[in-house]
Structure 1
Amino acid sequence: MKKKYLFGPIILALVLFAGVVFVPVSWLVKLVPADRLAESATSLEPNMFQGTYLQSEMLKRSTYVPIYGSSELSRWDPFHPSNYFETNDATFTPYLIGKGGMTSIIHDVNFATHAAQLKNKQMVIIVSPQWFVKHGTDEQHFAPNYSSLQAYQLPFNKEVNEQVKRKLMQRLMTYNAVKNDPILYQLYDAYLNDKKVMFNTLSVPAKAYISILEKKDLYFTLLKDKPTNRHQSGEVKDKSWEELKAQADSYGEKRTQHSKFYIDDKVYNHKKHYIKSMEGKNKGHSYAESPEYGDFQLMLDILKEAKAKPLFVIIPVNGAYYDYTGFTEKGRQDYYTRIKKQINDSDFTYADYSDHEYDPYFMRDTIHIGWKGWVYLDEDMQKFLEKH
């Protein structure tokens, strides 16, 4: 009798698994709620970044303007693009794609996945200096953000330049998240070394796994996102840019009365002891040299070939705090110069905020744009979209 009780749950689990795997995609798509795409525009849920369905649907619609970035996107206040453009009844909706730890390499794979949909697509890409650390993105930041689905799709992608695709695959193979996936790693190795028989053999389980991951993506799409705590406010409605900057100054001043370096009081109070311990600790640090520049170039190459229309946003650091830690101004300026040259050489447009390092209330803390910084971005974003 015990064996019957044992096999019952196993058989049920296998039946359920088979049901999940073999349910037609077309059935699942029909179950996606009509408001799911609009809801996901501000959800900042990793399942959306690591999948493909919602982004594909977003890219089909001219009413959405994607903003790619990292942790700054979750720094909500009334001046945040999601609130500003919604409050002012814009003809478009910002669609946020990014979270802490997402750097060029993560966005590269994402752009490669959607390359066929990027032609003439207007977008905003926020580039952060802290991406460009000496050794590049580490495993701790790569692994939670990397998309297994997008990585498996890459060798079969016909939309990306062959040389760029190979460089991207070689870069991905340096991370343990890829090394520890035997099918993916060997698939890449076979592709890069022209082992056709091996590649064709591995393609069978790889494509089967892609199918499972695509179903998983759709199942997650059916789930309702957790509500965001974003700051929705009408106080930025129908204001001139100068009025908004003055308003942001006042807003920031009220929230930095008990901190140094114009850091948000809540952030400062939470990290006060850490900040005190950082005095002079970053002597000799620089953003001048990093593997990230190569990763960023791959992004530029993918977008250029896809004929996308990006506006790059060059975020500064909190200059007063960086001086306090001993991080040299030259180590920052070398970064600003190099990143602008890369963007210029690719004939793309950028908004340069590097001269706002010491501008009060431009940054919310030591590295994240906020308050007045958002106002500048809103204005530049509006001008860019009108021009293009």
Structure 2
Amino acid sequence: MISKKKLFSAVGPFFAAIIIIGAIIFSPIHWFSGPSAKSIHEAASSMSVNVLKGNDLKNEAMASDKYLPFFGSSELSRVNAYHPSVLAQKYNRSYEPFLLGAPGTQSLTHFFMLNSMGDELNNKKIVFIISPQWFVKEGVGDPMFSLFFSPLQTNDWVMNLGSNDINDQYLAKRLLHFSSVRADTELKAMMKKIKSGEELSPLDKKRAAYNYEILTKEDKLFSKIGITSKSEKIDKKTKELPDVYSFKELDRQAFNDGESSTSNNEFDIANSFYSKRIAPMKGKLENSQVDFDYTKSPEFSDFQLVLNQIAEKNIDAMFVIPPVNKLWSDYTGLSTDMLDLFSKKINYQLKSQGFKHVVDYTDKRSQAYFMEDTIHLGWRGWMQMDRDLQKFLRDKNKPSYNMNSEEFLSKEWQNYTDFD
């Protein structure tokens, strides 16, 4: 029989910690100082869910001139010697990439991250990598959206909402598709109002502001927990590069690295990826993507929300469209005609609204060692992107946007394919 004294000794500190944390979070007093430079540096390469869903670390980074945000998804996690973070560190660039994405992040997550940064990104430059694979029939799936869903950033959007326009109404309608939003009774009720064009009441705004304040304290308290930085791997990879930057020499080295790293398969796929992900089920994958279609999707309208944020903040963005490994798409039956049509559609949506920095690598699908695996930029792909990035960073011309939400938020646009 455990004595009361021993029981209290065992569980007392836990309950005391809960009480202290609760007191800090719900106290009207602000106890927190800003994050340290070391914490921000560690967060920049972590791609941590806490960082993406929070504001504390990423917003502090964006308020400085040190960090260049890279929005994207799983490609950012593949750190080799030619990754943007490695090149920036090795060659003492004026910026450090801040990786804002992870496997499963798509346009809605990026919208909320952009919106949550307030004025920190106004008139600055960003890099945005668009994955064709986001643009499937149903758009982002419920599990992935819910994983990155940020009540903090959503309440931030709600409490600062003015009169509802078509962008707000579209977003509210989209959010009601997801279980993580519908499970929050207050938020669900507010989304229904916004969707219908009804203005939120002062009480709605007050609730959102209160929730935002509490969640902000939680973010400051817990955002640094569980961050696994890639800084050590980045440091290690810099040692593989020559001391002097030369695109020609680095591209040659990238070719050689790609060649030696893809020796166990006929698809120019990295050996480890092929052995773990492809080889065990290779036979089942042949002609498995014949019916895949990235040209009709609500993701096109979700992406328009991102573009509206970029335009509103007068951000200058370089958009990168990666190709699909041609050797692999030939094997799986993924249509190159369909991918070309996707390219035309996304280019039209961007360029017709004034987004002029569009780096489209769709036609690089057959270039040796451009890709690391089936769909992610690899050795020479990162090098080509670095070359385009340096050109983009040197361009001092200010962007001029002509937004057309009425067209690009419509069902007609989501399903439009007539580019002949």
Task: Report the TM-score when normalising by structure 2.
Answer: 0.85
Structure 2 counterpart of 1:144, one-letter code: L
Separation in 1, partners of 2:100, 2:176: 24
- % identical aligned pairs: 31
Deviation at 1:373, TM superposition (A): 0.5
Correspondence 1:117-132 to 2 at 5 A: 117-132=120-135
Separation in 2, partners of 1:91, 1:128: 27
Residue 81 (structure 2) pairs with residue 74 (structure 1): no
Deviation at 1:158, TM superposition (A): 4.7
Correspondence 1:8-47 to 2 at 5 A: 12=16, 15-23=19-27, 26-30=30-34, 32-47=35-50
Residue 273 (structure 2) pairs with residue 267 (structure 1): yes
Deviation at 1:115, TM superposition (A): 4.4
Task: Report the TM-score when normalising by structure 1.
Answer: 0.91
Aligned residue in 2 for 1:328: 335
Deviation at 1:81, TM superposition (A): 0.6
Separation in 1, partners of 2:197, 2:270: 54
Q: Is the 8 A contact 2:45 2:229 kept in 1?
A: no
Aligned residue in 2 for 1:373: 381
Which of 130, 133, 143 lines up with 2:136 in the alignment? 133
Unaligned runs of 5+ in 1: none
Deviation at 1:213, TM superposition (A): 1.1
Distance of aligned partners of 1:239 and 1:284 in 2 relative to their CA distance in 1, 3 Å threshold: same
Q: Is the 8 A contact 1:161 1:302 kept in 2?
A: no
Which of 106, 116, 119 lines up with 2:119 in the alignment? 116
Aligned residue in 2 for 1:357: 365
Structure 2 counterpart of 1:86, one-letter code: Q
Deviation at 1:20, TM superposition (A): 2.5
Q: Is the 8 A contact 1:112 1:159 kept in 2?
A: no
Q: Say which is worse superposed, 73-82 or 220-229, in terms of deviation.
A: 220-229
Distance of aligned partners of 1:79 and 1:309 in 2 relative to their CA distance in 1, 3 Å threshold: same
Residue 57 (structure 2) pairs with residue 54 (structure 1): yes
Distance of aligned partners of 1:236 and 1:371 in 2 relative to their CA distance in 1, 3 Å threshold: farther
Which of 212, 218, 223 lines up with 1:210 in the alignment? 212
Q: Is the 8 A contact 2:168 2:195 kept in 1?
A: no
Deviation at 1:222, TM superposition (A): 4.7
Correspondence 1:244-323 to 2 at 5 A: 244-271=250-277, 272-323=279-330
Separation in 2, partners of 1:21, 1:239: 49
Distance of aligned partners of 1:161 and 1:87 in 2 relative to their CA distance in 1, 3 Å threshold: farther
Residue 100 (structure 2) pairs with residue 93 (structure 1): no
Larger RCO: 1 or 2 (CA < 8 Å, sep 6+)? 1
Separation in 1, partners of 2:163, 2:128: 19
Q: Which runs of 4+ in 1 moved over 6 A?
A: none
Local SS of the residue matching 1:35? helix
Deviation at 1:276, TM superposition (A): 2.5
Local SS of the residue matching 1:238? coil
Separation in 2, partners of 1:14, 1:63: 37
Deviations 1:208-233 (A, max 9, x none): 22222111110124547334263432
Local SS of the residue matching 2:244? coil
Structure 2 counterpart of 1:365, one-letter code: D
Separation in 1, partners of 2:223, 2:142: 27
Structure 2 counterpart of 1:233, one-letter code: T
Separation in 2, partners of 1:182, 1:148: 12
Aligned residue in 2 for 1:341: 348
Deviation at 1:284, TM superposition (A): 2.5
Q: Is the 8 A contact 2:339 2:362 kept in 1?
A: no
Deviation at 1:93, TM superposition (A): 1.1
Structure 1 counterpart of 2:358, one-letter code: Y
Separation in 2, partners of 1:116, 1:159: 17
Aligned residue in 1 for 2:394: 386
Q: Is the 8 A contact 2:50 2:224 kept in 1?
A: no
Which of 220, 237, 241 lines up with 2:243 in the alignment? 237
Q: Is the 8 A contact 1:84 1:237 kept in 2?
A: no
Separation in 1, partners of 2:314, 2:163: 12
Separation in 2, partners of 1:253, 1:184: 52
Q: Is the 8 A contact 1:252 1:361 kept in 2?
A: yes
Separation in 2, partners of 1:258, 1:222: 40
Structure 1 counterpart of 2:276, one-letter code: H
